[in-house]
Amino acid sequence: MTTDQAGNPIDRAFDEIRRGREDHVPELALREVGELTTVFSGIARVTGVPGVGYEELLRFPGELYGIAFNIDEKEVGVVLLGEYVHLQAGNKVERTRRVMDVPVGEELIGRIVTPLGQPLDGKGPVVCRRRRPIERSAPSIMDRAPVNAPLQTGVKVIDALVPIGRGQRELILGDRQTGKTAIALDAILNQQGQGVLCIYCAIGQRASSVAKVVAKLNEKGALAHTIVVVTEGNDPAGLTYIAPYAATSIGEYFMEQGRDVLIVYDDLTQHARAYREISLLLRRPPGREAFPGDIFYVHSRLLERATHLRKDLGGGSLTALPIVETEAQNMAAYIPTNLISITDGQLYLSPDLFELGVLPAVDIGKSVSRVGDKAQLAVYRTATGRLKLEHAQFEELETFARFGTRLDEQTKLVLAHGQRIRAVLKQPESEPVSVPEQIVLLLALKHRLFDDVPLPSMKAAEAEVRKVAAQLPESVRNSFWDTAEPEEARQEEILRLCAAALENLKAPAQ
């Protein structure tokens, strides 16, 4: 082999290298890297990132992220979104040039995730093709449609007297252990087969409480139409703070696809406390009850995202059920009054009723729905009649009756009827009642068919009336969903069947 022949491959290799060098255009990767100066209690202070924007994500060592909350002339206050025990002063911190976002899509249905989209259910990673920022502007006035469709909770006292519409924001408030979460869960359970997707957002809850909720959803088969977003009590305050915003972004994705979504925030008291903790650590000036001055805006910008969209925008809805805890029945505290003024009504759960065994312990006098009446099925307006007024009269007379005063016959009748109203509106947890069953019960109650039934027999009487509802023809049961009020003849037939069913339970004539 000649030297020329041997040299050809080498020459060709050098030519390739030379051409590659000549064609190469260096690309500059612009990075802005600062330095961690202080880290404590879920808060970090960073210098050397002069271009950082408000609420921009910053990347720390160990794939830990934080949100830029305070931007001062010389340093940035950052809220950390995870465990930070490995961080040290002097660590490098890099700008990401993006805001906090969350994965969205059908893949999340039936999953239990953190606000960052990380799975907690052991079913493998969550792979979503789309992501959305957690902070988004609420739909404009012109993008909204009136609330005109009911959201049936399956809870008799709510659907009859404090109705909720799709796209409404209804606050649930009350003292500890009065059944707030139970009502929200009943509403989720009742959406099976109604085409409503549910999101349960646990904000700073005990792990044992969240486990009970998930177990109940699983047991009742409701996890198939539910997404659970969880932050536990021992999670950093930053993660607790972003949880409801992340859950709302997930819900908005489905709303914009034209679907109806129900979201439960459990609870916003913990959210407010997490934001107070962050603000005090960042040395923001405290206001009433040490909450920062913008706490109202923090909650209003969250809840204003719940709405009913116009038909040309898909006609989807996002219904919000925020929960807030009161202390010693004080509805005039700072956070409860803020949320009452932001929402479209409230369900107040009374500890006094809870202690009496009246469950759900909804105080009808203090509960209101400002827009739900317009969305309520017409048949409810016929069936309830003067029920709310009669219940109010009963509660007033019940107070006087405790003094042992002699009562006239009319007062005794009012008290007896009120006791039957209370008995019929009682309901076990996790047992939603269908619309036909509710209507038949309410019609019987309105026409005082239960008044002759002894109180100990009321449970059996209710069961008999519900059997009447189950035996009605399918066409009659479906007609309860019509917008028109039911015909008089149909009502009379239902009442005749109820009276016959209750005949054997009536007290013998004196």
What residues are labeled active site? 370
Q: Which helix (H) or strand (E) holds 99?
A: strand 92-99
The sign of the dihedral angle between the CA atoms of 91, 94, 99, 103 is: negative
Is residue 347 a contact partner of residue 178, using CB atoms and an 8 Å limit? no
Interaxial angle between packed helices 295-303 and 268-281, expressed in degrees from 0 to 180 and rounded to the nearest 10? 140
Tokens of 320: 């919000």
Find the Cα–Cα–Cα–Cα dihedral 496, 497, 500, 506, rounded to 10°: -90
- Rounded CA-CA distance 91/86 in Å is 10
Angle at 346 between CA 237 and CA 214, to 5 degrees: 50
Q: Residue ranges of the alpha helices (H) in 70-179?
A: 156-161
Tokens of 336: 């409860």
Tokens of 102: 């969350």
Residue among 132, 112, 128 at smallest CA distance from 232: 112
Angle at 472 between CA 467 and CA 474, to 5 degrees: 130
Location of structure tokens 């309410």: 442
Backbone φ, ψ for residue 296 (5° rounding): -65, -45
Tokens of 472: 């009605």
Residue 133: beta bridge partners? 101
Residues in CB range of 198: below 8 A, 6 or more apart: 188, 191, 222, 225, 226, 227, 261, 262, 263, 264
- Rounded CA-CA distance 388/135 in Å is 40
Backbone φ, ψ for residue 70 (5° rounding): -115, 125
Q: Residue ranges of the alpha helices (H) in 305-457?
A: 334-342, 351-355, 372-375, 378-384, 387-401, 409-425, 435-446
Residue among 42, 75, 71, 36 at smallest CA distance from 54: 71
Interaxial angle between packed helices 435-446 and 458-471, expressed in degrees from 0 to 180 and rounded to the nearest 10? 120
Residue-wise burial string across 262-290, b where 16 or more C-beta atoms lie within 10 A, e elsewhere: bbbbbbbbbbbbbbbbbbbbeebeeeeee
- Rounded CA-CA distance 400/397 in Å is 5
- Rounded CA-CA distance 170/153 in Å is 12
